[in-house]
């Protein structure tokens, strides 16, 4: 809304919003399916807009998604965002809060793409639907263990695996719903956002056309 300059400091003035998504969900306890869809559609539109302008957010989580009193969603905090280009650049692996950090960031040497944001969005989707955090790891290795425990080890070898990952036990791929209480359509959308292979992972634009939004 405005910018103020002093000798060494730049002040950026933004509109005031009532709370972030974490606070909203904690305060509301139970949200309607209609509101969940409205919020998630707005989140996906914001992410699709960023990606269409070659920007990776790199820190999507409920605390960085703001909610106005009119139930308008604003994606915020672009302090870790970067532009992306072809050929791919190498980025820092120390991005995104651990619970929302994509598998390729956890395992790679810094080569990842905008698909990393989609993984984070999938993790947010679970909480938006009224469930606990999907991958609540305490450290990177713990985070990887929880992910493969819930998503299975099938196709994970498509990634560049550090040697320690080969010692993880084999976990079967989920035959049903990875989140108890999610319906079939919600589960399908979630699994498309959490593909190990980034080429198979749904984009924000494709997610907006998913049958989840049909009704």
Q: What share of the chain is helix, strand, coil (3-state, %, to 5)?
A: 40, 10, 45
CA distance 52 to 198: 17
Distance (Å, rounded) from C-alpha 20 to C-alpha 76? 9
* SS3 at position 90: strand
* CA separation for the pair 171, 162 (Å, rounded): 18
Kindly report the backbone phi and psi dihedral angles of residue 10, in degrees, each rounded to the nearest multiple of 5, phi listed first. -110, 125
The region, left, alpha or beta by phi > 0 then psi within -120 to 50, assigned to residue 4 is beta
- 170 labelled catalytic: no
Cα–Cα distance measured from residue 193 to residue 119, given in angstroms and rounded to the nearest whole number: 6
**Active-site residue among 18, 59, 117, 142?**
59
Task: Look at residues 74, 90, 70 and name the one whose alpha carbon lies nearest to residue 82.
Answer: 90
Which positions are catalytic? Answer: 59
């Amino acid at each position: 809304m405005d910018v103020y300059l002093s000798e060494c400091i730049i002040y950026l003035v933004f509109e005031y919003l009532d709370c972030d998504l974490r606070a909203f969900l904690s305060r509301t306890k139970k949200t309607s399916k209609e509101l969940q869809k409205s919020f998630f559609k707005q989140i996906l539109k914001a992410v699709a807009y960023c990606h269409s302008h070659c920007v990776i957010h790199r820190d999507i989580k409920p605390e960085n998604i703001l909610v106005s009193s009119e139930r308008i969603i604003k994606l915020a905090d672009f302090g870790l965002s970067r532009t992306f280009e072809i050929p791919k650049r190498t980025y820092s692996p120390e991005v995104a809060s651990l619970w929302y950090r994509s598998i390729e960031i956890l395992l790679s040497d810094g080569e990842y793409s905008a698909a990393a944001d989609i993984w984070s969005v999938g993790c947010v989707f679970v909480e938006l639907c009224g469930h606990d955090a999907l991958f609540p790891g305490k450290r990177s290795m713990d985070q990887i263990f929880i992910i493969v425990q819930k998503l299975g080890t099938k196709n994970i070898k498509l990634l560049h695996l550090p040697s320690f990952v080969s010692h993880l036990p084999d976990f079967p791929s989920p035959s049903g719903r990875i989140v108890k209480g999610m319906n079939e359509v919600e589960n399908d959308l979630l699994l498309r956002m959490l593909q190990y292979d980034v080429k198979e992972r749904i984009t924000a634009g494709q997610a907006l056309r998913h049958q989840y939004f049909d009704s």
